[in-house]
Structure 1
Amino acid sequence: MDGTEGTSHTGFHAGSFSARNETRAVAETARRRVRIMSATLYPALPHLEPVSAPAPRLALKPDGSARGLLDGAWWPRSRDLLRELPALTSMVGPLWGRITRVAVNPEHWPVIPRKVPVDGHVVRVGWFTPEIDPHKLLLLSYGTGRWDLLVIPPETGAASAARLMAAACDLDGPPLTASALIAADEARYAVTDTSPDPGEAWEYEGGACDRLVVGV
């Protein structure tokens, strides 16, 4: 009886040891398959360098000047706010504080995104039809800062854009709205601009602006 029990006892543990080994082997094989599948299904993505946007074409009134109806002028390269706003808000952020909100009139903007990512934070975009001039952009900084910019249409010629920037920054000029400034320039200079060099137009026409930030 003792011999039989001993044999039975030894055999039971030997079988259990073998089963545990088999279970571990199956589990290890499964883990290898998971690792292989993971490597196949989720390959490492290549590192992409961020594409730097061109500097915004911008003219601002000097610090401490009377604000009037406008604080400057902005000449975007397109009517795509998602593309244009990051460069603009990044440029004025160090001057006016972090821009957190932007408001526009939707008349000249085909698509108005609700949020625009800018340098690690989000700028919220809103639109108002009667309250905001169709040719104006409203910027709100972190706190209570507010700035109003004339928006020069992207298709505007270089000479006209330079005149409008100078007019928006003119401290002695009449307090005209954004649309009134554009209408006055169109009425006075009915001929289409043919200036071949925007840089020359900036330097000649934009000299009246004490704070001129140019991106060409």
Structure 2
Amino acid sequence: MDSGAKPTVKKGKVDFWTKDEVKEFLSGVEHRRRIMFVLAIYTGMRRGEILGLRWRDIDLENGQIRISQILAFKGEIKDGTKTESGNRSISIPPVVIAELRKHRTRIIQEKWDAKESYYDLDLVVCRKNGQPVSWSNFHKFWIRQLSKTNVRPIRFHDLRHTCASLLLSAGIHPKIVQELLGHSSIKITLDIYSHMMPNIQADAVKILEKMLN
């Protein structure tokens, strides 16, 4: 990819990165908003859920995130999520806990530097003065990060699909993926991601064969 050209991101389709593409991307991102990408990839959280996430909704000791508010497209913070099932708790692994601890240290320093001019909304992802990150500015930031890392361009929302595809390809039950992503029913999960599970039927009949022979 030409580093001087803006990457073209395909719209209207489910796309996702492989595990190698994820590793390549994360290894090239050292920006203060890196935590956004870590959360999207490891938890499948929606952009509005990440932008609206507060520190009070994170239990670092027990590795849990509670999704209870979002930052809407027009910039207002709203209680609740896109759907009723979107209000959920998410388990996070040690690598995400470590990233959050590192990010919190940076936020505390920024709050100290800004002093009285800091607009404290308790947001995990925010501007240096504590104000929310706008959707439009974030999109520009995402495109810049894609250009810098040279990874195959996808939409930010496709990081959510990446999380799902990696879990399903590892044999995680679709019901678990449904609960993680906050889909209202497993039918939605299967409708979106069934094509990402081409080996499940083959594996199933092999298991049956092994049981009966």
Smaller-chain TM-score bracket: under 0.3
Q: Which has the higher contact order (CA 8 A, sep 6+)?
A: 2
Larger Rg: 1
With normalisation by structure 1, the TM-score equals 0.23
With normalisation by structure 2, the TM-score equals 0.23
Greater strand share, 1 or 2? 1
Greater helix share, 1 or 2? 2
